[in-house]
Structure 1
Amino acid sequence: MAAQKINEAHEHIAKAEKCLKTSLTKWKPDYDSAASEYAKAAVCFKNAKQYEQAKDAYLKEAEYHTENKTLFHAANTLVTLLFVLRQEQKKMPEAIQYIEKACMMYMENGTPDTAAMALDRAGKLIEPINLEKAVDLYQKAAGVFENEDRLRQAVELLGKASRLLVRLKRLDEAAVALQKEKNMYKEIENFPMCFKKTTAQVLIHLHRGDYVAADKCVRESYSLPGYSGSEDCVAMETLLQGYDEQDEDQVYRVCNSPLLKYMDNDVSTADPGSPGVQKNRTKTRNSAFRVYISSS
């Protein structure tokens, strides 16, 4: 079966090369037909598990779509390469480069939404391998949506990036990303999510050892409709008070309250950093903060 598919692939390549030839009666290469034949060849190679040859065929298809000035089809072809190259983990960085090139083509073609979705898809696939690159891709995708005034989509992707920044312990950047998320949620008037982001900000700032910044986040959030007196507000006020007074029991109670303990999990644990709060911290994992950056 594999040999048959490889033979079929070579037959399609031969047809493609014929489409590219010119003559006295055919002045221009038929790029559209050549691209179509290379697409068929690529599928045959892929079915035969000849992934390197499939990659070469897809690249030829993309090249001839570009020559034919059909950038959307060229970009789609480069995105398809992602699903070929991911067969080998070491090929993923190369695949991501093609995605980024496809993104530029989508933008030039006037289809930025498709560009952002391709970056998001690439981010999901590279995330288990390279968190730093996933952050970059999610942030780029968010930027594309933001430029198109699609803030709901942009803020969702920013949330993905924020979670990974926490996991990478890049907390200064996470704090900046969270503030941007919060501003977007405020702009689209999703105030409950603003509350959640405030909670996340407080936890991040305390983990950074910046009590002043944590306190400022809560105070600034008093202007949000419904925040003052809410469960989120009371919990953070209590947490900050316990932290300031080095009251380990009070911090423990807040960190084990349903508001924090049962949040949906993409979790990083972080101890408070205050000597009084750190006392007996090995007694239980629940004496640590559970830092969650929601993507919803």
Structure 2
Amino acid sequence: MANLPADAKVLEALPLYEKLKNEWNRKPPNIEKCDELLRSLKNLFAEGGFYPSDISKDTRGLLIARDTLEIGAQCAVTMGDIPAFERSLAQLKPFYFDLGFCLFLLEELELLPPKDIQNNLYLKHPVSLEQYLMEGSYNKVFLAKGYVPSPSSNFFMEILLNTIRDEIAYCMEKSYRRIPFNEAGKILSLSNTDELNRIAQKIMDFNFSHKVTEAEEHVRQADKYLKTSLTNWKPDLDSAINELEKAMSCYRIANSYDKCLEISLRNAELQLKKESKFFAAKSYEQAATCAQQMNDLPQSAKYFDKAAQLLIEGGQRDSAVILYERIGPVFQNFDRLLAIDFYVKGARIAEVDDKTHQASELYEKAALQSIRQSQNFTQTSELLEKCSHILVKMERYDRLNRILLYRILIKLFMDDFVAANNLFERFCQEYPTFAEWEEAQNIQMLIEAFEQDDPDLISQNCQRPFFLAIDNEFVRLLKRWIRPTATKRPQNGAAVESSSSGGNHSGISQTTTISTVKPLQLDEDDLR
């Protein structure tokens, strides 16, 4: 385009300026059309004659340029285009110093007279915000959102409030271990659940990435300590271990369990080089926990067992027993054989070390898992026998009676009522407390019901409150013998139960008696 005189350029720009002003004053304006007109006008301004530095006596060009750039700044705010807004501000500075928008950037305060700051609403608002921020009065900043001087200011207020919320959220993450969702919303002045979730996720992502970076730096430092040279011919194991432990902690916090597992195994190897079996065991335990978090339970079991073996080798036998007892429940629903193995290993160590209380409890736990595992009655019987021998040494007859009952029931579950009766008679002879036990009669009556091969009588005895109060694993098996009873109504309307038993064992009447026991409802698991 040929260079035109200043007056001609103004005349060319005037129709575009009028269109822009009319479009911008519409409610709402067409932002795309305004942006297109702004581009055309700025192209004209670039040719000269529209800025204070240009030599021209026509002030119309200056007014057109100023108004156009002001609209451009507000249009950029509406579009959320901060770089375009900043460019418009930079182009407006030569025209005047009264820049309310720019004060949101807190850069131009020193350029303005104090009197103007106090009296001009558009200047006073951002100045007050700066004061609130300096004081740390964030609640006043949140309240200030309700009286912004211009709708265009809302864009910058949202940026400011989001920044403040992020800062508060970072502080909350350090100050609280836990905080209710609604309380967090009050502190952040937020009721929007999605926005709260966004902030929480942002904090987590920041912390996780930061922790991973921190862990990687610790690993690099550990590698440096392990390097040897002509002047440093021996690796610094202590410093390397210290750095790896810090890396493990960072990876764990960042939920990077695969990396944490890898570093834990490296750390265990270094501990073994130092012949520190206790700390090597702790590293293997950490690796097992990471594998557990990754749902790799076979690998987890392997590392837990390795940790326990190292504790035993290092003379920390009590710690090994505690570890076996602690990890047993972890594997009960995954692999009961593993759980049984861990309980038995712990029990054997405790038994050798004369920790009778721990040993008896672990043998009992192993037995209860064994009876659940494909009804392995032989193994269960052996484990209960070990438990009873220990309880006799401890003279814990209150627990012994219950274990002896379980041993008798196991024989009944194996369809060997003769062996069950022999055990009952033997226990009565060997253990006076068992013979004097008030529940011994209930046990004898159940055995006699089996001798008579009477399903109804067996069912009736199994439903006695005493049997229904024992361990759930045994109750589950007892319930399989419970059957619905046939009832008939005499003329007086009372419900009676028909008994088909032929003898008069255990004091139960052979004649028709009133039913006092309600049959249990069997579930699918009991019927399998």
Q: TM exceeds 0.5?
A: yes
Aligned to 1:155: 360
Which of these residues, 431, 437, 450, is aligned with residue 224 of structure 1? Answer: 431
Deviation at 1:132, TM superposition (A): 1.3
Q: Say if 2:471 is the partner of 1:252.
A: no
Q: Is the 8 A contact 1:155 1:185 kept in 2?
A: yes
Aligned to 1:71: 277
Q: Say if 2:234 is the partner of 1:28.
A: yes
Aligned to 2:343: 138
Which of these residues, 373, 377, 385, is aligned with residue 179 of structure 1? Answer: 385
Q: Is the 8 A contact 1:175 1:204 kept in 2?
A: yes
**Could you list the per-position Cα deviations for residues 102-124 of structure 1 after superposition, in whole angstroms to 9, with x for gaps in the alignment?**
11111111111111111222211
SS at match of 2:330: helix
Aligned to 1:294: none
The more displaced of 25-34 and 50-59 is 25-34
Do the aligned partners of residues 135 and 286 (structure 1) sit closer, same or farther apart at CA in structure 2, a change above 3 Å counting? Answer: same
CA–CA distance in structure 2, aligned partners of residues 157 and 229 of structure 1: 27
SS at match of 1:49: coil
Q: Say if 2:262 is the partner of 1:56.
A: yes
Q: Is the 8 A contact 1:72 1:105 kept in 2?
A: yes
Gaps of 5+ in 2: 1-205, 486-518
Deviation at 1:25, TM superposition (A): 4.2
The more displaced of 99-108 and 254-263 is 254-263
Deviation at 1:24, TM superposition (A): 4.0
CA–CA distance in structure 2, aligned partners of residues 201 and 143 of structure 1: 20
CA–CA distance in structure 1, aligned partners of residues 384 and 425 of structure 2: 16
Deviation at 1:189, TM superposition (A): 0.7
The more displaced of 75-84 and 200-209 is 75-84
**Could you list the per-position Cα deviations for residues 35-90 of structure 1 after superposition, in whole angstroms to 9, with x for gaps in the alignment?**
1111111111122221111110111111111111111011011112232222222x
SS at match of 2:476: strand
Deviation at 1:167, TM superposition (A): 0.8
Q: Is the 8 A contact 2:462 2:479 kept in 1?
A: no
SS at match of 1:269: helix
The more displaced of 43-52 and 244-253 is 244-253
SS at match of 2:301: helix
Q: Say if 2:370 is the partner of 1:165.
A: yes
CA–CA distance in structure 1, aligned partners of residues 333 and 341 of structure 2: 14
CA–CA distance in structure 2, aligned partners of residues 180 and 14 of structure 1: 52
Q: Say if 2:309 is the partner of 1:104.
A: yes
Q: Is the 8 A contact 1:196 1:232 kept in 2?
A: no
Q: Is the 8 A contact 1:167 1:268 kept in 2?
A: no
CA–CA distance in structure 2, aligned partners of residues 229 and 133 of structure 1: 39
Q: Say if 2:407 is the partner of 1:207.
A: no
SS at match of 1:199: helix
Q: Is the 8 A contact 2:325 2:342 kept in 1?
A: yes
Deviation at 1:286, TM superposition (A): 7.3
Residue-pair matches, total: 282
Q: Say if 2:483 is the partner of 1:281.
A: yes
CA RMSD of aligned residues (A): 2.2
Output the amino acid matched with 1:54. C
The more displaced of 169-178 and 248-257 is 248-257
Q: Is the 8 A contact 1:256 1:286 kept in 2?
A: no
Aligned to 2:450: 243
CA–CA distance in structure 1, aligned partners of residues 210 and 479 of structure 2: 64
Do the aligned partners of residues 32 and 267 (structure 1) sit closer, same or farther apart at CA in structure 2, a change above 3 Å counting? Answer: farther
Deviation at 1:187, TM superposition (A): 1.3
CA–CA distance in structure 2, aligned partners of residues 221 and 83 of structure 1: 44
Aligned to 1:18: 224
Aligned to 2:59: none
CA–CA distance in structure 2, aligned partners of residues 247 and 153 of structure 1: 41
Gaps of 5+ in 1: 292-296
Higher RCO structure (Cα 8 Å, ≥6 apart): 1
Which of these residues, 325, 328, 331, is aligned with residue 120 of structure 1? Answer: 325
SS at match of 1:230: coil
Output the amino acid matched with 2:462. C
Q: Say if 2:295 is the partner of 1:93.
A: no
Do the aligned partners of residues 131 and 195 (structure 1) sit closer, same or farther apart at CA in structure 2, a change above 3 Å counting? Answer: same
TM-score, normalised to structure 2's length?
Answer: 0.51
CA–CA distance in structure 2, aligned partners of residues 148 and 286 of structure 1: 46
Output the amino acid matched with 1:116. V
CA–CA distance in structure 2, aligned partners of residues 50 and 270 of structure 1: 44
CA–CA distance in structure 2, aligned partners of residues 46 and 182 of structure 1: 43
**Could you list the per-position Cα deviations for residues 142-200 of structure 1 after superposition, in whole angstroms to 9, with x for gaps in the alignment?**
11111111111011011111011111111111111111111111111111212111211
Output the amino acid matched with 2:379. E
Output the amino acid matched with 1:170. N
CA–CA distance in structure 2, aligned partners of residues 189 and 111 of structure 1: 28
Do the aligned partners of residues 145 and 180 (structure 1) sit closer, same or farther apart at CA in structure 2, a change above 3 Å counting? Answer: same
TM-score, normalised to structure 1's length?
Answer: 0.88
Q: Is the 8 A contact 1:191 1:225 kept in 2?
A: no
